[in-house]
């Protein structure tokens, strides 16, 4: 059996830079027509020159594939109209990080004073630039995302013309918030459709499944599955594929991130087939994102087949999810 996907998109992707970029970017560009690239480098992407230079580095290493990087800017409350307008079509979204909440987010927002954030958010509303948010507080780790939902709702109410994307949601509370505000949307990762905290730390610690937001409870995973499998129009696939070298994962102070880029589409095909929802996979991995971001991706046809894929133990220094295991679907061809 085969599944045909037209121009699949990954709407939340970490490519890092330099040697790591060279290793991981082609693993996404091979099978995806485009991806929304996160800006939390060191230093972060916060100028037009930096954005264009990073885009060029991505295009250089993905030149053999049909692939478009959709670029983002690291949020600052000082961005004015002329500054953001100067980006034109080069800017697809702005990513807001709470300070210190995840990898390379130390320069993020401390506190969420709407009045302080308003100048930038008002300009974004006027220019139609989406706001992507890593929504977690500094509370107890299992409660951080749920505690952030009122902040999402406060921002959605204060800026009704601003499209707000709740990134990599992991909780039932976030799913429910989608229905209360017209301008709230969400990305969902592959790994959060599959695992709970028990998979990460219920037995021996599995560092390559440790991520932020951390995996939650079974009822949270079920809520994510419900909206993903039904291709709810306000959710879209965003892998949050986050590569770290093996020594940074298998160490004291384990880095947060799950690397899924090389197997994402194959594993999604397996999930949607098993759940008798394969007719909705195209919407989840492409059509919904096109509507939410108002984009027309490059033309690319990916044919998947129910033929096993053996996942390598590593890609360079990076260990993928399901390393050394077999999954039941694979990519047959790309046109």
Report the chain's terminal Cα–Cα distance, integer Å.
18
Which residues, 6+ apart, have CB-to-CB distance to 79 below 8 Å? 73, 94, 119, 120, 123
* Inter-residue contact 38 to 58 (CB < 8 Å): no
Our CA angle for 2, 236, 13, nearest 5°, is: 95
CA–CA separation, 100 and 138 (whole Å):
9
CA–CA separation, 76 and 90 (whole Å):
18
Q: Exposure string (b/e) for 212-235, b if CB count within 10 Å is 16 or more?
A: bbbbbeeebbebbbebbbebbebb
Chain-centroid distance, C-alpha 132? 10
Rg (CA), the chain: 19
16: left (phi over 0), alpha (psi -120 to 50) or beta: left
Residue 80 annotated among the catalytic residues of the structure: no
- The one catalytic residue among 80, 199, 222, 240: 240
Q: Return the sign of the alpha-carbon dihedral for residues 152, 157, 158, 163.
A: positive
Spatial strand order of the sheet with 164-166 comes to 9-13, 34-37, 68-74, 93-96, 131-133, 164-166, 184-188, 235-237
* Per-residue CA distances from 305 to 78, 103, 231, 287 (Å): 49, 35, 21, 21
Q: Are strands 309-310 and 326-327 parallel, antiparallel or unpaired?
A: antiparallel
CA–CA separation, 266 and 166 (whole Å):
25
Q: Active-site residue numbers?
A: 240
């Amino acid at each position: 059996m085969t599944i045909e996907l037209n121009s699949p998109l990954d709407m939340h992707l970490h490519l890092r830079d330099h040697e790591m970029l060279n290793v991981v970017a082609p693993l996404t560009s091979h099978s995806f027509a485009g991806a929304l690239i996160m800006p939390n480098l060191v230093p972060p992407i916060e100028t037009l020159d930096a954005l264009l230079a990073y885009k060029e580095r991505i295009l250089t290493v993905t030149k053999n594939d049909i692939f478009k990087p959709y670029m983002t800017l690291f949020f600052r409350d000082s961005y004015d109209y002329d500054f953001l307008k100067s980006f034109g079509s080069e800017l697809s979204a702005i990513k807001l990080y709470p300070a210190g909440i995840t990898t390379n987010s130390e320069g993020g927002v401390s506190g969420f004073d709407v009045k302080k954030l308003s100048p930038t958010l008002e300009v974004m509303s006027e220019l139609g630039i989406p706001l992507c948010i890593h929504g977690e507080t500094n509370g107890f780790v299992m409660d951080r995302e749920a505690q952030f939902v009122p902040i999402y709702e406060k921002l959605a109410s204060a800026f009704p013309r601003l499209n707000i994307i709740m990134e990599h949601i992991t909780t039932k509370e976030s799913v429910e918030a989608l229905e209360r505000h017209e301008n709230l949307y969400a990305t969902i990762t592959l790994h959060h459709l599959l695992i709970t905290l028990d998979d990460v730390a219920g037995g021996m610690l599995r560092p390559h499944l440790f991520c932020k937001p951390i995996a939650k409870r079974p009822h949270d995973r079920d809520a994510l599955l419900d909206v993903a499998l039904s291709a709810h129009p306000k959710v879209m696939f965003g892998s949050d594929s986050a590569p770290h070298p093996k020594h940074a994962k298998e160490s004291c102070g384990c880095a947060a991130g799950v690397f899924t880029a090389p197997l994402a589409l194959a594993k999604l095909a397996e999930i949607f087939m098993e759940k008798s929802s394969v007719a909705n996979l195209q919407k989840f991995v492409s059509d919904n994102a096109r509507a939410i971001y108002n984009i027309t991706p490059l033309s690319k046809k990916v044919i998947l087949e129910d033929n096993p894929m053996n996942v390598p133990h590593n890609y360079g220094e990076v260990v993928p999810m399901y390393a050394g295991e077999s999954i039941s679907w694979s990519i047959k061809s790309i046109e």
